[in-house]
């Protein structure tokens, strides 16, 4: 019985037909992402203004959702066609290859045409394009240069581009499989990241304009007001006092060059890139949230105009933290923020915190006779110290300054710190041409992110002169 086997030669026009170079599945999936971002933007604008959708917005949203369903159906149809093609390409007859009468001669003189041919392979792991690890993918990219045979997995998943080198494999670049992109984004939101503590807003745009109302409930000069009215009296009209908060997303990048030797060790390559790139990106974001100057990066807590800095105590020694410092910081924390605030600190200050005590005077009040520790559990150092101060979590961070500098300890409510992150997360691209003469493959990671406190100035209390803020730091004690 004759057996029909479908063999695909990479240079054959049938490859382009099967991949549909006009519109690829990957391009359609990119359209889904764009449509989803449009829908999120429409809904997010209404949510930010705390209102229902307008008629025009409802019409636009319904149109976007209908396009999404249409594109999704197109993708499913194309994937079914590909599955049928793969099924036809699978040999149905003999499963073992005929025995080579002269294997040594074949090994010495392989047929180039046979080496170029490859049967269509069913890609069971679509999210990784059939690659087992990131290192496996990196090796395939490296091996495709220099006129070598291109890995069929790269060929089947490359995306046509116009004028850009990263989009098409033959131009020197390949997109990274989506599952690897997803894994790195998950690592970005790990335990050591400050992003999950912030008021995070996904966005499909590089610029956000948000309405802001900074009036307090006790402000009787501007904004919405409430009055006690007598019977049959005319109501007193008021109006909102809104300003615009413009957020521009900044670009955070990491460019990683990997040697050919490291690429040959695929597991090591996989572990290295997955660990180091997110670590670097994560720290840059943390550092910007704490110390950023707002120029090409987020506005950090230390440089924000709404941050309050507490002066040191009279006669306080350099590079010390006293219990009075912590008490004064707590007293200036805006009351509604106390429920969601955290302490950020440099680990250099831990000896000072562990020994900080409220001083106790004698009966006459003339001399200090002892103290009461502010950060010590009942069991003392024999047990683990509390992980909280004034009931709020203590989080060590390398972004905080050294002991004695402003910013070595901060009491912050990051829920009142706005961050905006591009909905696509980290964009990753690979190039074999950037450092071609050094035998290096370049992996580029790009994330667009913005951040700044919601408030533009400290809160003025109803009674008293001391302003309040969700962000309180301690002055320099040099």
Mean pLDDT of the chain: 76
User: pLDDT at residue 371 above 90?
Assistant: no
- Percentage of the chain beyond pLDDT 70 is 71
Give the separation between CA 27 and CA 21, rounded to whole angstroms: 10
User: pLDDT at residue 1 above 60?
Assistant: no
Rounded average pLDDT over 194-222: 79
| pLDDT of 286 | 93
Residue ranges per domain, the chain? 302-420+455-474
| pLDDT of 457 | 92
416 band by pLDDT with thresholds 50, 70 and 90: very high
Q: For 99-141, how does the pLDDT look when each residue is reduced to its tens digit (9 = 90+)?
A: 555 545 444 444 444 444 333 344 445 667 777 777 777 777 7
9 band by pLDDT with thresholds 50, 70 and 90: very low
Give the separation between CA 260 and CA 142, rounded to whole angstroms: 8
- Identify the top-confidence range among 15-19, 213-217, 338-342: 338-342
Using an 8 Å Cβ cutoff, are 325 and 331 in contact? no
Helix (H) or strand (E) segment spanning residue 259? strand 250-259
Q: Whose CA is closest to 477, among 325, 308, 327, 312?
A: 312
Q: Whose CA is closest to 356, among 370, 343, 375?
A: 375
Which of helix, strand or coil describes residue 284?
Answer: helix
Q: For 172-198, how does the pLDDT look when each residue is reduced to its tens digit (9 = 90+)?
A: 456 677 676 666 665 565 557 898 899
| pLDDT of 306 | 95
Comparing 158 with 74, which gets the higher pLDDT?
74
- Identify the top-confidence range among 170-179, 265-274, 368-377, 438-447: 438-447
Overall pTM surpassing 0.85 (yes/no): no
314: its two tokens? 């009279």
Q: For 285-302, how does the pLDDT look when each residue is reduced to its tens digit (9 = 90+)?
A: 999 999 999 999 999 999
Indicate the angle between helix axes 134-143 and 266-291, nearest 10 degrees. 110
User: pLDDT at residue 331 above 90?
Assistant: yes
| pLDDT of 186 | 58
Using an 8 Å Cβ cutoff, are 57 and 42 in contact? yes
Rounded average pLDDT over 42-71: 84
| 56: Cβ contacts below 8 Å, ≥ 6 apart | none
User: pLDDT at residue 202 above 80?
Assistant: yes
DSSP letters along 82-119, please? Answer: HHHHHHHHS--S--SPPPPS-HHHHHHS--HHHHH-EE
């Amino acid at each position: 019985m004759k057996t029909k086997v479908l063999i695909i030669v990479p240079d054959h026009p049938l490859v382009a037909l099967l991949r549909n170079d006009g519109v690829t599945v990957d391009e359609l999936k990119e359209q889904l992402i764009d449509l989803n971002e449009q829908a999120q933007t429409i809904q997010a604008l209404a949510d930010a203004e705390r209102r229902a959708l307008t008629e025009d917005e409802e019409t636009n949203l319904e149109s976007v959702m209908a396009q999404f369903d249409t594109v999704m159906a197109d993708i499913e149809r194309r994937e079914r066609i590909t599955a049928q093609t793969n099924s036809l390409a699978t040999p149905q007859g003999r499963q073992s290859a005929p025995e080579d009468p002269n294997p040594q001669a074949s090994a010495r003189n392989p047929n180039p045409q046979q080496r170029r041919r490859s049967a269509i392979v069913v890609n069971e792991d679509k999210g990784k394009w059939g690659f087992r690890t990131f290192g496996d993918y990196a090796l395939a990219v490296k091996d495709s240069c220099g006129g070598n045979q291109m890995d069929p997995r790269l060929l089947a998943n490359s995306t046509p581009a116009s004028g850009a080198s990263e989009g098409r494999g033959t131009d020197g670049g390949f997109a990274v499989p989506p599952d690897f992109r997803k894994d790195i984004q998950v690592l970005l939101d790990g335990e050591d990241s400050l992003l999950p503590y912030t008021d995070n807003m996904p966005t499909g745009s590089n610029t956000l304009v948000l309405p802001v109302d900074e009036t307090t409930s006790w402000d009787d000069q501007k904004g919405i007001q409430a009055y006690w009215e007598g019977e049959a009296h005319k109501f007193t009209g008021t109006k909102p006092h809104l300003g615009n908060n413009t957020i521009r997303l900044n670009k955070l990048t990491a460019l990683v060059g990997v040697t050919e030797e490291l690429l040959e060790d695929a597991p090591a390559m996989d572990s290295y890139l997955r660990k180091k790139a997110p670590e670097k990106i994560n720290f840059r974001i943390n550092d910007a949230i704490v110390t950023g100057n707002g120029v090409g990066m987020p506005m950090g807590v230390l440089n924000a105009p709404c941050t309050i800095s507490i002066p040191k105590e009279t006669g306080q020694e350099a590079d010390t933290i006293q219990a009075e410092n912590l008490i004064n910081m707590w007293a200036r924390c805006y009351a509604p923020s106390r429920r969601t605030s955290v302490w950020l600190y440099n680990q250099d200050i831990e000896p000072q915190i562990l020994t900080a005590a409220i001083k106790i005077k004698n009966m006459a009040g003339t001399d200090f006779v002892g103290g009461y520790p502010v950060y010590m559990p009942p069991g003392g150092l024999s047990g683990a110290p509390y992980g909280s101060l004034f009931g709020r979590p203590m989080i060590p961070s390398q972004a905080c300054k050294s002991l004695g500098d402003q910013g070595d300890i901060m009491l912050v409510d990051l829920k009142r710190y706005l961050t905006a992150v591009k909905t696509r997360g980290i964009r990753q691209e690979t190039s074999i041409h950037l450092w071609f003469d050094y035998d290096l493959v370049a992996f580029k990671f790009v994330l667009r992110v913005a951040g700044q406190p919601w408030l533009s100035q400290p809160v003025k209390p109803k009674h008293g002169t001391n302003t309040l803020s969700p962000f309180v730091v301690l002055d320099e004690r040099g």
